[in-house]
Structure 1
Amino acid sequence: MSEDLSYPGGKLRLFVEAPLGEGARVVLEEGQAHYLLHVMRAKVGDRLNFFNGQDGEWVAEITETAKRTCTAVCARQLEPQTEVPDLWLCFAPVKKTPADYLTQKATELGVRVLQPIFTRRTIVSRVNTERMLANAVEAAEQSGRVSVPEIREAIALDKLLASWPAERRILFCDEAGDAPSIADALMTERGGSWAVFTGPEGGFDPAERALLRAQANVMAVSLGGRILRADTAALSALSVWQALTGDWR
């Protein structure tokens, strides 16, 4: 008997790169096919959902299976393509497990771009963008969004700011404590293009703080009186932004 494939958290959704539309045939890559066939025990006639970040979300039916491959055909569109608010997260990377967690949760919170930045106090010297993308895809599949955030290569803070788009506002999470609270600062803001900037363990150094504050379109804010971990600070700022000026309103 055919059934909708699901897991304890909900309906099974997969991100694919193939075009989606009525009658579109999708041949899954080997890893996804292995998961469907050997973990989910999928069979011909079972249904699942696809999204690709361009064509919305589609119900598809498995039509062919083999030892290492699986093919499904799109039947109907469930959701049109929508986009999350124009919000970037520019963050100093932290050690592996917090970085994985940060990528997953930022995806759930609706970030459009994840941009790692190297600062003078950044401990991590290399960023595995493939690992970040895998975490982002998994989080998008489980959270119900129909897009995956863009994962950008890590760049030095000064180089990023040198080519910063003039129209994009910067929400600078300044740990020095001499900025207004993030809630007060954002209370009258509505939408637009934004980027949240958060620093490494130890924070931005004085020269970097001065560089950020000197940007034409920057809003320095405080996240309160307690010391937050780098990943906690980033997720807190994203949550407040979404609540006050994003798509949580």
Structure 2
Amino acid sequence: MPRSHATLPRLFVPHDLAPAAELTLDKEQSLYLAAVLRKSVGDEVVLFNGRDGAWLCRLTSDSKKSVALAVTEQIAPQTEGADLWYGFAPLKNERLDYVVQKAVEMGAGTIQPVMTQFTQVHRLKTDRLHSNAIEAAEQCEVLSVPTIAPEITLERLLADWPQAQGARKLIFADEAEASSSPVDTLEAIRGAPVGLLIGPEGGFSQSEREKLRALPFVVPISLGPRILRADTAAVAAMAVIQAIIGDWR
């Protein structure tokens, strides 16, 4: 996005975006623009929908209940959705919000809660996960909002994982793996689609670790000599993956 537009508010909307289109925001977004940001008729904002790129829009009505806008020009083309699958054992609210937001920033294309033996949170608010993903995309100029996949048990995830030739590898951050650099391990799977699995605060159980390590599509890696919190491990692992075999190269 041009830097001249970087300071404008960015909002995710469900509407189709095209030249000369007109649209009305919902009550929550209208209140945010008109009352919180004090935007008025003639002011500009950036809208995106995950399909049509980013568009410059101008307010034509500043009602706090229903802000109306006219779409003026596209300022960034739509980007392809990221391919990285990210699975994680749900954490408590604030840390759960954090890992979803960071996964969006780090380029995850699909985010999926995975229930493990030591998972402490078993009731998830899917709407909250979606809201956090959208908020992160709005703040970080991400045009493709990741898919929030339904929660799944680790057992079902592994049973359903595609194993055909060339299928996705599952990178498993194993806290019990001997401390070592993950560079060579990741270089060996360059070119294959990948997923990342991060366990709960108490780690994976011994039986879960044994099952994971026995599967041919699972790739265990170490994240160094220190014990990391689950949310820290997620960011560290995604950074390593993107730097070595991902879209940072």
Q: Percent identity?
A: 45
Letter in 2 for 1:148: V
Partner of 2:13: 16
Q: In the TM superposition, what is the alpha-carbon distance from 1:62 to its structure 2 partner? A: 1.1
In structure 1, C-alpha distance between the alignment counterparts of 2:210 and 2:8, rounded to whole Å:
48
In structure 1, C-alpha distance between the alignment counterparts of 2:182 and 2:199, rounded to whole Å:
16
Structure 1: give runs of 5+ residues left out of the alignment.
none
Q: What SS is found at the alignment partner of 1:112?
A: strand
In structure 2, C-alpha distance between the alignment counterparts of 1:54 and 1:215, rounded to whole Å:
36
Partner of 2:203: 203
In structure 2, C-alpha distance between the alignment counterparts of 1:89 and 1:174, rounded to whole Å:
15
Q: What SS is found at the alignment partner of 1:184?
A: helix
The answer as to whether partners of 1:180 and 1:220 remain within 8 angstroms in 2 is: no
The answer as to whether partners of 1:55 and 1:80 remain within 8 angstroms in 2 is: yes
Pairing partner for 1:68 from 60, 65, 73: 65
1:79 and 2:80 aligned: no
Deviations 1:72-109 (A, max 9, x none): 12111111111243101100011111111111111111
1:140 and 2:140 aligned: no
Partner of 2:168: 168
- Structure 1 stretches of 4+ with a deviation exceeding 6 A read none
Q: Size of the alignment, in residue pairs? A: 243
The answer as to whether partners of 2:170 and 2:217 remain within 8 angstroms in 1 is: yes
Q: In the TM superposition, what is the alpha-carbon distance from 1:65 to its structure 2 partner? A: 2.8
| Mapping 1:149-168, distance limit 5 Å | 149-166=146-163, 167-168=167-168
In structure 2, C-alpha distance between the alignment counterparts of 1:35 and 1:192, rounded to whole Å:
42
Partner of 2:193: 193
Deviations 1:172-218 (A, max 9, x none): 11111247532231235434421100101121111111222233322
1:88 and 2:94 aligned: no
Q: In the TM superposition, what is the alpha-carbon distance from 1:66 to its structure 2 partner? A: 2.2
Pairing partner for 2:104 from 83, 104, 107: 107
Report the more deviating stretch, 52-61 or 178-187.
Answer: 178-187
Structure 2: give runs of 5+ residues left out of the alignment.
none
TM-score normalised to structure 2 length: 0.92
Report the more deviating stretch, 211-220 or 234-243.
Answer: 211-220
